[in-house]
Amino acid sequence: MYFFVNDYNDICNPEILENLKNALDERNYGYGFDTHSENARKLIKKAMNYEDCDIYFIPGGTGANILGSASGMRQENSVISAKTGHIEGHETGAIEATGLKIETIKTEDGKLTRTMLEDFYKNFTTEYMTVPKKVYISNTTELGTVYTKEEIEDIYDFCKSNGLYLFIDGARMAAALVSEKFGATLEDLPRMCDIFYLGGTKNGMLYGEALVIVNDDLRRNFINLQKQKGQMMAKSFVPAINFETVFSKEGGYLEGARHAHEMAKKLASGLENLGEKLYQEFQSNQVFLELEKDRTEKLKEFAAIEVNGHTEDGKDVVRFVTTYRTTEEDIDGVLEEISKI
């Protein structure tokens, strides 16, 4: 069975596991006040060439999205997101449970634009509507598309001009950073938004996300919010060791993502060479294929995949996700099987 269902289907990079084993006999302080957490923060700041920020290690993406959305917000505020945004359709109302409403904009490719935001924001003028205070985007998006550096900078300029915060969901930030489409580096990230996170769970780590807070308004009392929302780990040093491992070597955070990207590129190219139609142009480690329903059922006999919606003419939108463990043999094998159906 070829496995393309997600990018968090294994325990972790063996090097991380080895470093966790090496720490078995240690005694560590809790709640992020340990030496591993401090060292991981220093290494991340060095990689970003940016010191004036706070970094917190969060168990997973949902928690990071709750905190990223709720920080610095009042009860009358709302978060603007694409309709396909992860916080809208994949968090079981976790954001709304904080007392905030998500105001959504329909997009074709999962990406917001400055023009969309300008047209949408001007509608919030009366006392019976929410007061938007934060814009949420994810890079990569749920549709595998990638924002360019210029697109995010344009959105951030709009936010600053209108007193809004910009929050970037970075569950797949490594996948975005290695994409030819993005054109940004780790050093750019803290300079193009107010708060973002570097995903670990979907980037070969055991678990954990590194939430980076740049704006002073959002940094204030954040640790109290983290505790209140159940996202403070007593053993924060465990995810910290994950980040400490990958950031201890130059380019280590992106190493696995680069491999996943190359495998996805090979897959996308191979599918098009077979005459198959991609739902979105190739941009990241998520490849979406339009497939007739009967062919989808045959595909499931030899490949673990997800169906992520349907086209207007009734075809399935099948998602393939590559990881740092995907091999060329996996790609060649699944392409050969698809050619037979």
Domain CATH code at residue 90: 3.40.640.10
Strand, coil or helix: 300: coil
- Work out the end-to-end distance of the chain between its first and last CA atoms, rounded to an integer number of angstroms: 16
Residue 91 corresponds to which tokens in the numbers above? 């968090």
Q: Are residues 231 and 104 in the same domain?
A: yes
The residue from 224, 252, 280 where one domain ends is: 252
Residue 138 corresponds to which tokens in the numbers above? 């994810």
Q: Are residues 41 and 142 in the same domain?
A: yes
Q: Are residues 234 and 304 in the same domain?
A: no
Strand, coil or helix: 104: strand
Q: Are residues 186 and 304 in the same domain?
A: no
The residue from 252, 282, 305 where one domain ends is: 252
What CA–CA distance (Å, rounded) separates 162 from 22? 49
Nearest one of 226, 263, 239, 189 to 28, comparing CA atoms: 239
What CA–CA distance (Å, rounded) separates 261 from 47? 21
The residue from 217, 252, 287 where one domain ends is: 252
Q: Are residues 202 and 300 in the same domain?
A: no
- Note the helical H segments in the chain: 14-22, 35-48, 61-70, 86-89, 114-121, 149-161, 173-177, 216-219, 222-228, 237-247, 252-273, 293-299, 328-340
Domain CATH code at residue 332: 3.90.1150.10
Q: How many domains does the chain have?
A: 2
Q: Are residues 287 and 247 in the same domain?
A: no
What CA–CA distance (Å, rounded) separates 304 from 313? 24
Nearest one of 315, 309, 278, 280 to 296, comparing CA atoms: 315
Strand, coil or helix: 68: helix
Q: Are residues 241 and 262 in the same domain?
A: no
Q: Are residues 75 and 140 in the same domain?
A: yes
- Verify cis geometry, omega within 30 degrees of 0, for the bond prior to 140: yes
Q: Are residues 215 and 273 in the same domain?
A: no
Q: What is the pLDDT of residue 89?
A: 85
Q: Are residues 284 and 196 in the same domain?
A: no
* Overall pTM > 0.75: yes
Q: Are residues 31 and 110 in the same domain?
A: yes
Q: Which domain holds residue 276?
A: 2-7+255-340
pLDDT in tens, the chain (341 residues): 999 999 999 999 999 999 999 999 999 999 999 999 999 999 999 999 999 999 999 999 999 999 999 999 999 999 999 999 999 988 999 999 999 999 999 999 999 999 999 999 999 999 999 999 999 999 999 999 999 999 999 999 999 999 999 999 999 999 999 999 999 999 999 999 999 999 999 999 999 999 999 999 999 999 999 999 999 999 999 999 999 999 999 999 999 999 999 999 999 999 999 999 999 999 999 999 999 999 999 999 999 999 999 999 999 999 999 999 999 999 999 999 999 99
Q: Are residues 209 and 325 in the same domain?
A: no
